Amino acid sequence: MKGIVEERAAMLGEYIIESKATVRSAAKKFGISKSTVHKDVSQRLKNVNPVLYKEVREILDTNKSQRHIRGGIATRNKYLKIKMKNEN
């Protein structure tokens, strides 16, 4: 069981680096919870592959710094969609 968890952490790390994915999108892709993805790439990966961990950490930090922008865009799109629905 333990080896599988480390392999999953490495796979998640590689996926996040290749696609510059968010924790949420990685969780959706692999069919696991956001909490599991976060624990794998922020704790387990550090012990398994420190070099990969550093690269993933950079991407996650970038995503975190941009999350308020993504939230604003999502809210804007939500209300535009409601407006379009009400006009039709």
Question: What pLDDT score was predicted for residue 16?
Answer: 97
Give Cα 77 distance to the centre of its chain.
Answer: 21
> How deeply is 30 buried, as exposed, middle or buried, from its count of CB atoms within 10 A (0-12, 13-18, 19+)?
middle
What does residue 49 show for φ and ψ, rounded to 5 degrees? -150, 90
Distance CA 63, CA 60 (A): 5
Question: What pLDDT score was predicted for residue 88?
Answer: 77
- What count of residues does the chain have? 88
The residue type found at 21 is A
Give Cα 42 distance to the centre of its chain.
Answer: 11
Question: What pLDDT score was predicted for residue 1?
Answer: 38
Q: What does the pLDDT look like over 5-36, one tens digit per residue?
A: 999 999 999 999 999 999 999 999 999 999 99
